[in-house]
Amino acid sequence: MNRALPSFVKFVSIAALTFAAVASASEDKAQPADANKGGTLYASGDASRGIMACVACHGNAGNSSITQNPKLAGQHAAYLQKQLHEFKGPTRNNAVMTAIAKALSDDDIRNLAAYLEQQKQQPGAAKNKTTVELGKKIYRAGIAEKNVPACAGCHGPNGAGVPAQFARIGGQHQDYTVAQLTNFRTGARANNAQMTAVGKRMSDDEMQAVADYIAGLK
């Protein structure tokens, strides 16, 4: 009798179980986001974990009516996930969002992002006819003398952005866009080096003009 056989069988069994566990973990990680769960969490929150309903600040289906709070409908899922993870750290600090993000699991974040990406954004509109042309010029061509690149170069001619790289900004509230550009300028928001450089080179009037133009993009 080969006495080494039981040990070999035991080794194979352990290896098989280990492989199965790893495969199972990989399958779990590969599970697609559940937009339905994301929609439920968005609408109702989870009081047991201290997660408030997103709808309270960001509106039905991600269409905020509060101009200081961003519209999230139609935003790229990868971008939303990145921002929610960064609210947990030092690069994007917001008293409300930091607390909420820290209570969210990775699955929660993926599910919320999937839900919001599927929603249709309600269009915005430019309001200031006297500055919208300046905003249009900055958005399309940048400000050469200040080394400010054209917004369209990254965010697209209609503000649709590029999934996993650049945010959808077309139709966004003016107040929110100005606030973010200002935060990039001051360092209050430090999660994008390129936007920090852009913010530091723009005046208040230029920020307001481009934000107004962006609000009317469709």
Residue 134 DSSP symbol: H
Count of domains for the chain: 2
Query: pTM of the full predicted structure?
Result: 0.85
| Angle, vertex CA 201, rays to CA 200 and CA 207, nearest 5 | 90
Is 207 in contact with 182 (CB distance < 8 Å)?
yes
Q: Where are the alpha helices (DSSP H) in 32-145?
A: 35-44, 55-58, 77-87, 95-103, 106-117, 132-141
Range of the domain at 151: 132-215
Indicate the residue among 68, 90, 117 that finishes a domain.
Answer: 117
Q: Is 28 helix (H, G, I), strand (E, B) or coil?
A: helix
Q: How distant, in Å, are the alpha carbons of 5, 34, 121 from that of 118? A: 56, 11, 9
Indicate the residue among 83, 117, 151 that finishes a domain.
Answer: 117
* 99/196 Cα distance (integer angstroms): 24
Q: Would you give per-residue pLDDT tens digits along the chain (218 residues)?
A: 445 444 434 433 444 444 444 444 444 555 789 999 999 999 999 999 999 999 999 999 999 999 999 999 999 999 999 999 999 999 998 999 999 999 999 999 999 999 999 999 999 999 998 899 999 999 999 999 999 999 999 999 999 999 888 999 999 999 999 999 999 999 999 999 999 999 999 999 999 999 999 999 99
- Are 82 and 153 in the same domain? no
Q: Specify if 162 maps to a domain.
A: yes
Q: Specify if 24 maps to a domain.
A: no
Q: Specify if 12 maps to a domain.
A: no
- Are 111 and 138 in the same domain? no
